[in-house]
Structure 1
Amino acid sequence: MSETEYFNVADIFGENVFNDAVMRERLPKGTYKKLHEVMENGGDLDLATADVIAHEMKEWAIEKGATHYTHWFQPLTGMTAEKHDSFISAPMADGRILMSFSGKELIKGEPDASSFPSGGLRATFEARGYTAWDCTSPAFVRQDPEGTTVLCIPTAFCSYTGEALDQKTPLLRSMEAINEQALRLIRLFGNTTSKKVTPSIGIEQEYFIIDRDKYLKRKDLIFAGRTLFGAMPPKGQEMDDHYFGTIRQRIASYMKDVNEELWKLGVSAKTQHNEVAPAQHELAPIYAQCNVAVDHNQLIMETLKRVAGRHNLHCLLHEKPFAGVNGSGKHDNWSLTTDDGINLLEPGDTPHENIQFLMVLTCILKAVDEHAALLRASASDPGNDHRLGANEAPPAIISAFLGEQLEDVINQLVSTGSATHSLAGQRLHTGVSTLPDFMKDATDRNRTSPFAFTGNKFEFRSVGSQDSVAPANVVLNTIIAEAFADACDVLEKADNFDIAVHDLIKKYATEHQRIIFSGDGYSEDWVKEAERRGLPNIKSMVEAIPAYVDEKSVAAFERFHVMTKTELESRVEIEYETYAKTINIEALAMYDIAGKHIIPAVIRYTTRLAESINQVKSACPDVSVKVQSDLLAETSRLLTETQSALLHLKEVTETAKNMERGCEQANYYHNEVVVAMAALRKPVDALEMIVAKDLWPMPSYGDLLFEVSAI
């Protein structure tokens, strides 16, 4: 669609999705009913029913131009994977072919399980793995103007022996766990009508957009996804003029195309704006069921990257592509809703009287306090180490912000044993007669909190921008299911429910009040206060990884059949290996760029300076060449420092590569290689501020961050 064409969003929304409306129209009533029974209550589809669904899905996809289908799954790479098979069957005797797609092909696929990260669950010679159709997340057609149109079927991915090799399987298990335990809890409060409780999430996605031609001149961006060198330009984000600023024409055109593609895929992209850093932006959809929202976030990331190329742009999803300006994350807004529209995190006008809400709230505080390290681990990756705790993102210390109203209720419960009142919002007076006065919320927001209550949901703000949000939601669902189960175990045995629930709310509020913090999470005072409270301060990914196999983590996951100890151990191995490989790639990229590009460029500059000094002295011996001489001396000093740091980086990287994979190797990369990388970057960035721009071998931060934003 050209820029001059217009469309009605309602007309195109979901047009490439085999959604409920399409199924209701195309499937026989009996087939539609059986499928919905499985979607709502679980169970297996018989092959005859699956054959009917597969046939109609194929016919619909072919009408959309599809020639192939794929089981679209999410292995432990953090990205998606797919293998395309065409709909054609074996040629008939007369040479013609039929287009076919069976129920068996819909329900089950068989990708190579040994070629994806498995953490030892699959050996190289053990290749068999299975993808299984997730019928609760609708299939869709992905139309690529320059490629194949494919029917994408969301699936889970597991090994031949049944272990989860993906992000989705544990997520679906965790959703079943919290559904079961939340239903137990609300039944105790008299709710007999709700049949299902589902985690509902909204994911805010941040990203950077830069010019593609300049991207291709930065080998660090190509290999590592972030700049490994780069001096700050004269202007960064200090003027706060980019945040919510006017969206420039080139970016607006890009966003328009992104929205159109997402809307066709049924992704309810709603909010878009400029973020804090130059060239940084955000896209947020409307809330969706947990597993569907996770699928949609993967589609959002894929679409952001794919559409950028059409505009000669490049989308950077790395958590910290540029030093000195804010990095990118995504906020995971988590809530619990019933099938009949009840939000369990809705406090109402008088939360002190809403006993069910207070029970849910204090259970969540209990879960977050007891599993703070695990929650921190769920948001860990090498790129996020540059954000968490860096005065731009939530601190590495996990705490919960409740706001003045709920914190006051908790304080009443702890100090007196009962809550008798709730702070109310007041009318906001603008002081301008033509502007309306309105009621403001009863509480402010806290952008420095990693886990903040924001009205009727919790916002987990620590997840990295390029990561799947599945691990964070697996953890949230599981630990909160555990807290609900613990509460139900007590309440179901109580002789007097009212007294028991009152006592349990007070007990949880008292025991876990330490996790509540409403102040500045970026301050050093909070670091000291958190240590006094006994809260963990986990500053890096390698420190966070062991939380997955902590005794209480394993107990929680196994209790609700979300993951076995073996599956958790495999993920720990993958996490250590991912960290080591990521840092190794960055170190090798730095060595390559510094050795082949930067040092030769600096030598050319020093040669130019030396020639200038000699020529000036030869032409006029009495003229001062102090400026050239000082520049030559400083440049030579920094060049020597660069070479020394480069050799040290090579040495420690070689040592790390030769170590056995696992915890020790990952820690060595963190403690030695990362430090050596920083030591190399320091003199190189200083040299960039000296060496003539025509000799510097790659675009500067100013070129990357401001050119697109200025158009």
Structure 2
Amino acid sequence: MYRKVVDYAEQPLEKMYGENSFSDAKMRERLPKSIYKEFKKVQNGDKELTIEVAEVLANAIKDWAIEKGATHYTHWFQPLTGLTAEKHDSFISPTADGSVILEFSGKELIQGEPDASSFPNGGLRATFEARGYTAWDVTSPIFLKEDNTGITLYIPTAFISYTGEALDKKVPLLRSMDALNKQAMRVLKALGNKDSKKVITTVGPEQEYFLVDKEYFEKRMDLVLAGRTVFGAMPPKGQEMDDHYFGQIKDRVAAYMRELDYELWKLGIAAKTKHNEVAPNQFELAVIFGTTNVAADHNQLVMETMRRVAGRHNLVALLHEKPYAGVNGSGKHNNWSMATDDGKNLLEPGKTPHENMQFLLFMTGVIKAVDKYAPMLRLSAANAGNDHRLGANEAPPAIISIFLGDLLSDILEKISNGEAAKGKDGVKLELGTDSLPKLPKDLTDRNRTSPFAFTGNKFEFRMVASSDSISGVNVILNTMVADVLKEFADELENATDKKAAVEKIIKDAYSAHKRVVFNGDGYAEGWVAEAEKRGLPNLKSTVDVLPEGKTKEVIDLFTKHGVFTEEELVSRFYIYSEKYSQQINIEANIMVEMANMQIFPSANKYAKQLADTIKSVKEVLSDADTVEQEKSLKAVLNNIKGLKEGIAELEKLIIDAQNTEGEYEQAKFYREKVLAKMEEARVYGDNLEKLVEKELWPFPTYEDLLFRL
């Protein structure tokens, strides 16, 4: 069942790493020098790709792929389902003599034409309008994938409609990267930077996931169809001992992780860290920083590879945000920063006064952006699964706040008050003068309760849903920061005294937006009241936050920077409203079927056994001798009754929900009525699990799912 994993002593890691990726090194090796230089200009955005260059590229890529055993190619894209999509075409071209030749043209490399009618479009086009286009993203490496279909060449692409609207996650992401680059470069030039030519955003995503034995998984309809359990009582031991966290990795899991690393490394994905997470059978994998759009592509591949490799080990990788009630759910940590093409991290505190001034300016820009556009940042982490996770004592609350740590907070507070700030050593900090000391890299402790924390030279956004693409959050991060940097650039470009202008910008921006900075315990009950006092929004659910995506302020933001059109934004409001309803509808119907077809028969059988026992005992002994058995029987019957009534009401609510007109109104009904009734009915089902004899219980329990691996 297990694939043989390479022996790294025989085949060194540095030699096999990236063997299935058409990397820059392979391009240099296989392309004529003039074509390579021309294509690098295309990748840097300095020139457009010509068909002549594309033909040479296509031939080199085809030869490499065929040498590796590839027979097909596909334009790999990321529609608004949150998953990836592909249509495979072979390289073969028949000849007149009945044989074939293998061909791959520049046009086939650059553009594809998949059916766009069945993908979510939110009213951007009619269902019968089927034509869509995929366009090669030249900045993301082409790669090979090995599976049961053989070896296929994958070309990362953007996906647009016939009339040019973005139908995917990649197009807005690329637009947002351009927007941030434009405004950040304006700021740098105004500060006197003559060396940097481009600003990119970088991301290092951390991916949390659960593993479950495939045998147990397949016996749970809810896990198979919805990815989470709609019934399930907590076992006597959960995660309270914290003995799983960072503990020794079990042999079966270690074998899985070893093969997962191997598959990712072959793709050129820099899987770096792996460990046990807090919940039993929960784990995490972290990847080294990369350019944002490449990081987004790689994270999609990480999730796909996790699932595929798990199957070879008779395991299933669960990426749902909350597969099990009562234990920690899974998220993604989106570690985000900005860097120049000549290697300067704009969120690095720096070694010189000038860099410190620059750092504090960009830092303040992020603070202002997060406060100003907090609802949009919250929206980037919204889905039906994440609603079960956010706000529990395992993940950040639904309130957006920033953790800076005491040192940075003190520096910015003093600047905003016009006071002389001091570093750790007591030296006064004066922007733009030689008395500004080097700020240490680790300015802060880590605050795991903060949704948006500064962690040395980057911000870690910890709210992202584990099953989602990271494209959405980074589109919003890039665009909102670009908007604030535009304000800064407008002011700096018109200033004669740059030092005074920078000081004023930092002072004014921090003073106006410091309400979003919170260095305390985000799990504490008092924080909710404090956040309300500060005027911070508390958008608790996906349904609460969805309308924020189409307000006038948001439409102005994204259209101003060319990231979304108004039509594209509104379409996503309808798409995500419908997606939410569909998810809850599936889960509700699963609950009905599991209750009717599995729990009731088992509970009734156990009730009959108890009744028969009581009757038999009474025939021999007195009524007083069956008191405890009768209590057990009554408890079982009461919970059967409660579950029966709850399920009957749930079935009626499902029908009412389906008859509710309007995508958002339907989503609200599912949230407020259907989901609430599901939670009520679940209590009775979970009570029955604790009462019914284990051998009669119809599906694996949490004990099986969490501790049998």
Superposed pair shares fold, TM > 0.5: yes
Report the Cα distance in structure 1 between the residues aligned to 2:178 and 2:480, rounded to whole angstroms.
13
Q: Provide closer, same or farther for how the CA distance between residues 257 and 672 of structure 1 changes in structure 2, counting only shifts above 3 A.
A: same
Q: Is contact 2:416-2:506 (8 Å) kept?
A: no
Deviations 1:563-595 (A, max 9, x none): 011100000000100000000000001001111
Q: Measured at CA, do residues 111 and 616 of structure 1 come closer, stay the same or move farther in structure 2, by a change above 3 Å? A: same
Q: Give secondary structure in 2 for the equivalent of 1:705.
A: helix
- Residue 707 of structure 1 corresponds to which residue in structure 2? 708
Q: Is 2:233 the counterpart of 1:231?
A: yes
1:481-520 residue CA offsets vs partner (Å, 9 max, x unmatched): 0000011111111232221221111000100110100001
Give deviations 1:503-554, integer Å, cap 9, x for gaps: 1110001001101000011112111111011100000001111111111111
Q: Residue in 1 aligned with 2:397?
A: 395
Question: Counterpart of 1:667 in structure 2: which amino acid?
Answer: K
In structure 1, the gaps of 5 or more residues are 426-438
Per the alignment, residue 547 of structure 1 pairs with: 548
SS at match of 1:689: helix
Aligned partners of 1:180 and 1:440: how far apart in 2? 27
Amino acid across the alignment from 1:537: N
1:659 match: secondary structure: coil
Q: Following TM superposition, by how much is the alpha carbon of 1:420 offset from its aligned partner in structure 2, in angstroms?
A: 3.3
User: Aligned partner of 1:694: which letter?
Assistant: E
Amino acid at match of 2:144: V
- Please state how far the C-alpha of 1:8 moved relative to its aligned partner: 2.2
Worse-superposed segment, 5-14 or 679-688: 5-14
The CA distance in 1 between the partners of 2:574 and 2:606, in whole Å, is: 46
Secondary structure, counterpart of 1:521 in structure 2: coil
Alpha-carbon offset, residue 392 of structure 1: 1.1
Supply the distance in 1 between the matched residues of 2:414 and 2:354 (Cα, whole angstroms). 9
1:402-439 Cα offsets, whole Å, 9 max, x none, are: 11110010110122x254322259xxxxxxxxxxxxx9
Amino acid at match of 1:421: K
- Which residue among 249, 268, 271 is the counterpart of 2:270? 268
Q: 2:169 aligns with which of 167, 170, 187?
A: 167
Aligned equivalent of 2:384: 382
Q: Is 2:443–2:456's contact at 8 Å kept on the other side of the alignment?
A: no
Distance 1:103 1:28, change over 3 A: same
Distance 1:86 1:4 in 2: 29
Amino acid across the alignment from 1:467: D
Give 1:622 deviation, angstroms: 6.9
Would the alpha carbon gap of residues 442 and 45 (structure 1) be closer, same or farther in structure 2, given more than 3 Å must change? closer
State the 1:375 CA deviation: 0.5
Question: Counterpart in 2 of 1:329?
Answer: 331
Aligned to 1:563: 564
Alpha-carbon distance between aligned partners in 2 of 1:660 and 1:61, rounded to the nearest angstrom: 50
Name the CA shift for 1:352/1:38 in 2 (closer, same or farther; >3 Å).
closer
Q: Partner of 2:410 in structure 1?
A: 408
Give the partner amino acid of 2:68. K
Matched, 1:67 2:68: no
8 Å Cα contact 2:415-2:421 kept in structure 1 = no
| One-letter code aligned to 1:443 | T
Cα–Cα, structure 1 residues 297 and 115, in superposed 2: closer, same or farther, change >3 Å? same
Could you tell me which of 7, 17, 29 is aligned with 1:13?
17
Task: Give, in whole Å, the separation in 2 of the partners of 1:456 and 1:424.
Answer: 21
**Partners of 2:76 and 2:579 in 1: how far apart?**
22
Aligned to 1:310: 312
In 1, Cα distance between equivalents of 2:358 and 2:7? 51
Counterpart pick for 2:135 among 116, 124, 132: 132
| Counterpart contact for 1:318–1:328, Cα < 8 Å | yes
Aligned counterpart for 1:54 among listed residues 40, 49, 58 = 58
Write the distance in 1 (CA, Å) between the matches of 2:621 and 2:511.
83
CA distance in 1, matches of 2:251, 2:408: 43
Between 118-127 and 341-350, report the one with greater CA deviation.
Answer: 341-350
* Distance in 1, Cα, partners of 2:146 & 2:365: 45
Evaluate the alpha carbon distance shift between residue 122 and residue 492 of structure 1 in structure 2; reply closer, same or farther with a 3 A threshold.
same
Cα distance between partner residues in 1 of 2:6 and 2:69: 25
> C-alpha deviations, 1:302-355, integer Å up to 9, x for none?
000000000000000000000111000010000011111100001136889821
**Distance in 2, Cα, partners of 1:644 & 1:213:** 32
Q: Conserved in 1, the CA contact under 8 Å of 2:349 and 2:355?
A: no
Partner of 2:453: helix, strand, or coil? strand
Equivalent in the alignment of 1:186 = 188
**Amino acid corresponding to residue 701 of structure 2 in structure 1:** S
Show the counterpart of 1:147: 149
Change over 3 Å in CA distance of 1:16–1:624 after alignment to 2? same
Secondary structure class of the residue paired with 2:336: strand
Q: Deviation at 1:617?
A: 2.4
The one-letter amino acid of 2:248's match is T
Quote how far apart the aligned CAs of 1:32 are: 1.1
Structure 2 counterparts to residues 88-127 of structure 1, below 5 A: 88-89=92-93, 91-127=94-130
- Point out where structure 2 has 5 or more consecutive residues left out of the alignment: 427-439
Q: Runs of 4+ in structure 1 displaced over 3 angstroms? A: 3-7, 349-353, 439-442, 619-623
Output the amino acid matched with 2:283: H
User: Which residue identity lines up with residue 287 of structure 2 in the other structure?
Assistant: P
Identity of aligned residues (%): 56
The separation in 2 between residues aligned to 1:92 and 1:386, in whole angstroms, is 58
What secondary structure is seen at the aligned counterpart in 1 of 2:89?
strand
Q: What's the counterpart of residue 48 of structure 2?
A: 44
Which one is further off, 596-605 or 35-44? 35-44
Give the length in aligned residue pairs: 692
Q: Which residue of 2 aligns with 1:457?
A: 458
> Is contact 1:243–1:275 with CA below 8 Å preserved after alignment?
yes
Which of 173, 192, 197 is 2:199 aligned to? 197
Q: Give the Cα–Cα distance (whole angstroms) in 2 for the partners of residues 420 and 654 of structure 1.
A: 63
| In structure 1, distance between residues paired with 2:167 and 2:468 | 16
What amino acid maps onto 2:100 in structure 1? I
Conserved? CA contact 2:336–2:459, under 8 Å: yes
Out of 617-626 and 395-404, give the one that drifted further.
Answer: 617-626
Written as runs of structure 1 = structure 2, the 5 A alignment for 1:186-585 is 186-348=188-350, 354-415=356-417, 417-423=418-424, 441-585=442-586
Once the two structures are TM-superposed, the CA of residue 620 in structure 1 deviates from its matched residue by 4.2
**Structure 2 counterpart of 1:600:** 601
| Aligned 8 A contact 1:351 1:358 in 2 | no
| CA offset digits 1:1-40 (Å, max 9, x no partner) | 5268444211211000011111111111122112111100
- The change in CA–CA distance for 1:608 and 1:221 in structure 2 (over 3 A counts) is same
TM-score by structure 1 length? 0.95
Report the CA distance shift for 1:683/1:86 in structure 2 as closer, same or farther (over 3 A). same
Change (3 A) 1:102 1:3: closer
CA contact (8 A) 2:80 2:169 kept: yes
